[in-house]
Amino acid sequence: MTNNDTSNLLSVLVVEDDPSITRMLRFSLRAGGFGITEVSTGPAAIRLIDEHRPAAVVLDLGLSDGDGSTVLKRLQSQLDCTPVWVCISSLDQQDAASEHGPLGEHFLGKPFDPWKLVNILTDMLSKAAYIKNS
């Protein structure tokens, strides 16, 4: 686990087992103004979600340990804890929906534009803050 979070930044948990994608996400999320914590396994992600309640989670559905689906189920069942999450996958959206249920705006297929992900997270976090404060 790499913890690069800074207390004054919104924290994003990156759950990705491909080091090159993790590096790309680290660069783009930091540049987008986010603090990040990185893990590469499902159990580590679930532990951090439960203990630290990040503002957002970027989850690779195809983790090599096979636990991407388990993490997704945890996120979907605990929206009050982590209301913002985006799944990334080498599956296309239709195949991902068949396997995991409809993901809608919560899905980005690989390869993806990291700046699009930053924009999606920023928009989702703004909406979540608005709803929380309403």
User: For residue 20, how many other CB atoms are within 10 A of its CB?
Assistant: 8
Task: Give the total number of structural domains in the chain.
Answer: 1
Determine the structural domain holding residue 26 and report its residue range: 2-129
Report d(CA 74, CA 76) in Å as an integer.
6
Judge whether 98 lies within some domain: yes
Mean pLDDT across the chain, nearest whole number?
82
Q: What is the mean pLDDT of the segment spanning 20-49? A: 95
The fraction of the chain above a pLDDT of 70, given in percent, is 77
Give the global pTM.
0.83
CATH number for position 15 = 3.40.50.2300
Domain annotation covers residue 134: no
Cα–Cα distance, 14 to 120 (Å, whole number): 15
Residue 82 lies in a domain: yes
